[in-house]
Structure formats: C-alpha cells, structure tokens
Amino acid sequence: MNQRAAIKAITSFLPAGKLTNEQLAEQFGDWHASQILSKTGVAVRGVAADDECASDLGVAAAKRLFETGACLPEEIDFLIFCTQSPDYFTPTTACLMQDRLGLKTSCGAIDINQGCSGYIYGLALA
C-alpha cells in the first residue's frame, strides 16, 4: 500500500484582542493609519491577552479542527508547531500541546522557530 501525507483540513484561531493601524498611529504618531496599511498590507492584528501563550492559541485551533470531525486526536502521528514566541525554551511548546490535546505518547512533537517562512518549512517537514 502506498501511503502519502495529505492535508485533510485547515483551521485557525485568533485571539480576541485586536490592534488596529489607527491605534498604532495614535501610539507612535510618525505614520498615519493609511501609510501603515500601505507598507504592511495589514489592517488589524490579533493580540494575545496577557495570560495567553502560544500553546493556548495552538490548542484552541487544534480543538476547532477536532470539532469539525476532519480528524481525531488519536489519529495524529506528529505535531509540528511553528512559533517565534514559545511558552518556554524547554520543554517545547509542541510537547505541552501534545499533552493538553491528549495526543498519544508515541506522537512526535517538535517546535520550529521560523518567521514568515514557517508555514512553508512546516509543510516541508511534514
């Protein structure tokens, strides 16, 4: 049997906090909101609460995925978590998420520290 890796579903989770270009312009004053949008292409940013960590956002996204029925926690063989803001240096955030999500102990779990290219590197690793 020829098995291949595949993406069955994609989900996301954004924190409740928001930061607009108007707020940034007010805070820093050097640029207008329209200039920030023109340079970054971003109008609103999600901002984690003071008590939210990267793992909280990842766990919430994974739970959403499981709720769709696209897959079950026991079907996960490997967790790749990409962040530039890990909960701790060690243990890896992926291992913390593995435990919180109830993934099997034989499931691999690894953090990769990447920025914008993290999505592509994560796909390549998967």
Q: What is the pLDDT along the chain (126 residues), one digit of tens a residue?
A: 677 777 888 899 999 999 999 999 999 888 999 999 999 999 999 999 999 999 999 999 999 999 999 999 999 999 999 999 999 999 999 999 999 999 999 999 999 999 889 999 999 998
pTM for the predicted model, two decimal places: 0.84
Q: What is the pLDDT, as a whole number, of residue 1?
A: 65
Q: What is the pLDDT, as a whole number, of residue 24?
A: 95
Q: Domains plus CATH for the chain?
A: 17-47 (no CATH), 54-125 (3.40.47.10)
Report whether 64 contacts 11 (CB < 8 A): yes
**Cα 122–chain centre separation:** 11
Q: What is the pLDDT, as a whole number, of residue 87?
A: 96
Q: What is the pLDDT, as a whole number, of residue 6?
A: 76
